Chain A
């Protein structure tokens, strides 16, 4: 079995990271009844002898002594990391695996990338090498960051080049939170576009996430739970949005809930690699199946269910509903409607009590309403993992390489152009050593080239009127079904 290291950069990255570790511990605790440090745990955790001071305390087998996350925490401000280190997860993190500063990046990609990049390169390399040494067989780096700020965006993408050079055989999966159009950071379009170029060139796979979509999802869940229609029928522990802390304090911090969804995506992505199942899917299979051309590695994700009804005996129709939801625009984690766009490839990662026949039945049912690119008409990658997430009997993560990412990129470019035309705030960037206007023009060219690739693919869409009608009818029918409680 292989190990993965999570690198959380910036405020957003660290907050999501924190949710991830909390959830990972809960998931393993639910499965690992005997307290033995097993291979599944070792994918994300080290087992350290708590009595030994210093670094030599790794225990590879036997009872769990003290679990340490395979993580590197980076932030150029101390607030978030300090909070983590004082919170319930403080013992999970190795204090030597942190890189912090006090001044912050001022929401400036150039500061994050160029200034802090060069200042911290050695330290970062040292921490990464340490993490790698602790792994028997390191397979993947998971980078979590946001695109709109300075640290996550700038330093986070600087890291990618370092990782590519230092660990060329290890996959780089990036979870990137894109700024919504109502983002309050004025320079977020600059930061995002500059970061995009790095993602296109140095990441193996990117999962773009949109704050607005996350917010919409949790708003809908809140509405359903609080409106009394489903109310008591929902198992509180099954809310994908709930963290242990939130359940305890009954907090209503929206970011907590939003971050939990992303954390769940990362856990589901790795579940088939960690746990057994009748059709396993390792991390190296994600890239192999979902990235037909190196540049086109942006995967739209959707997670269902987002909550579970208290009724344990779930009839097949509910199970089928889970598959339908995965393709509805309301469940996507970016603003996109994959049904109206072109699929290059699609992966369905199923967890829990679901068998191959359920999977096949639903693929057959949903296929007619989806459009696949001509050279990949049967482009499905599937996996079945026996272990469901905590609080659910089954779940589904869908990853789509679909041209529906294009609108997000188009909008980003549009917002960038509006700012750049007026040279607004540009001096903050240009005054940083190593930055020039060329960086901006190159970055936007890179994005334009990417958009062109998606345009070319969209042009191959053969969209028959009947298909459109069928797709619309199916969507309407499903929308009707969703409105009725108890169904």
Chain B
């Protein structure tokens, strides 16, 4: 079964590239610390999930690249092609000329409807290439305009058109001290919309990954490239094939099956039920032993609360609101978002 990845905006595309690169380099890693047969099963499984075949043998990422301005996509395509080992499909991109201006409303209400058909067509084509579709992996940031606004719109569309497939959104939580001044507005609007249309939100905070680079990896001058690579490494280790419930000789067919487990999402469980382990013999990226933890916990309450607080503070003074109402996102939409998110925070706090 396969996963179709949708990379949105600068962040989504920059990270998407690193993820595919990590997945590819891991699956082709000669040192798997396991038997040859094991390695081949692993490779085949990985390949099926994330790459499709091409005539001349170069694997093509099962991905659709979307951005409202061309620079990043161009860079991403050429970086992949340059590696010579894998690449993106020639016709898998959708690009416009003028970005979303960090405006969620512009991404959601203008770009969304305007380009809905084209983008959904591209996704459909990618889906048709899969023997069987497991679900979608949507990579986007919350702070900007395209990833956040258009990302929310597309996720909703995926829910309508592919209701049986899992929609997993990889969201990048921006740095606390700003990358974008209206990032809190964009974030709350994104989260409240995704809450209704996404099945799972996998969150990475820039601040947290930055700390990893600084403290654990001792990188002196940290670039976004470093950050994205750490992220990709983490994601890669979550998505690579693991054994299915039948036992250690078969890899799970459905890569996102694990995410469907209700145990991940219900509130009260005995500790033994709450923790499920997916394993494989095969080492990830030359690390003899490694573990990745995906958790649904109260960890996110504080950052979420902070963002909601700041957004509310700004909203109370009506600052920047004219930029959103210009494109059809009204004050009620903001209020709806606040209400929903406050409920979520309360639910987590009540655990």
Contact = CB atoms under 8 A, between A and B. Distances in A.
A279 interface: yes
A374 B313 contact: yes
A356 B102 contact: no
A376 B98 contact: no
B222 A357 contact: yes
Q: How large is the interface on A (under 10, 10 to 19, 20 to 34, 35 or more residues)?
A: 35 or more
A345 B319 CA distance: 11
Nearest to B175: A360
Contact of B314 (A284, A288, A363, A376): A376
A278 interface: yes
Nearest to A286: B101
A282 B181 contact: no
Contact of A1 (B70, B103, B214, B221): B70
A288 B323 contact: yes
Interface residues of B, number: 44
B317 A379 contact: no
Interface string B216-232: 00011111110100000
Contact of B223 (A293, A355, A374): A355
A65 interface: no
Nearest to B9: A280
Nearest to A3: B97
B97 A2 contact: yes
Contacts of B213: 357
B179 A285 contact: no
- Chain A interface secondary structure, helix, strand, loop or mixed? mixed
B258 interface: no
B319 A292 contact: yes
A378 B176 contact: yes
Contact of B178 (A137, A288, A357, A379): A379
A136 B10 CA distance: 22
B210 A360 contact: yes
Contacts of B34: none
A357 B214 contact: yes
Nearest to B214: A357
A169 B318 CA distance: 23
A293 B70 contact: no
A278 B223 contact: yes
Interface stretch (A17-25, A249-257, A380-388): A380-388
B223 A378 contact: no
Contacts of B36: none
Contacts of B103: 284, 288
Contact of A375 (B145, B224, B319): B319
A2 B69 CA distance: 9
Nearest to B221: A355
A382 B179 contact: yes
A356 B103 CA distance: 22
Contact of A289 (B100, B102, B317): B102
B101 A282 contact: yes
A353 to B, nearest CB: 9
A288 B101 contact: yes
Interface in B163-189: 175-182
A357 B225 contact: no
Contacts of A355: 221-224
Contacts of B175: 360
B97 A137 contact: yes
A344 B75 CA distance: 34
Contact of A378 (B102, B178, B221): B178
Given A279-B10, A282-B98, A355-B221, A289 B181 contact: yes
Contact of B322 (A39, A293, A356, A364): A293
A331 B275 CA distance: 57
Interface in A272-305: 276, 278-280, 282, 284-285, 287-294
B314 A375 contact: yes
Nearest to B206: A356
A461 interface: no
B77 to A, nearest CB: 13
A220 interface: no
Contacts of A288: 101-103, 145, 182, 320, 323
Given A280-B10, A280-B72, A375-B319, A136 B97 contact: yes
Given A375-B319, A380-B179, 16 more contacts: A280-B71, A282-B101, A284-B98, A284-B99, A288-B101, A288-B182, A289-B182, A291-B320, A294-B322, A357-B222, A363-B178, A375-B313, A378-B177, A378-B310, A381-B178, A382-B179
8 contacts: A1-B69, A276-B72, A287-B101, A293-B322, A294-B322, A358-B221, A374-B317, A376-B181
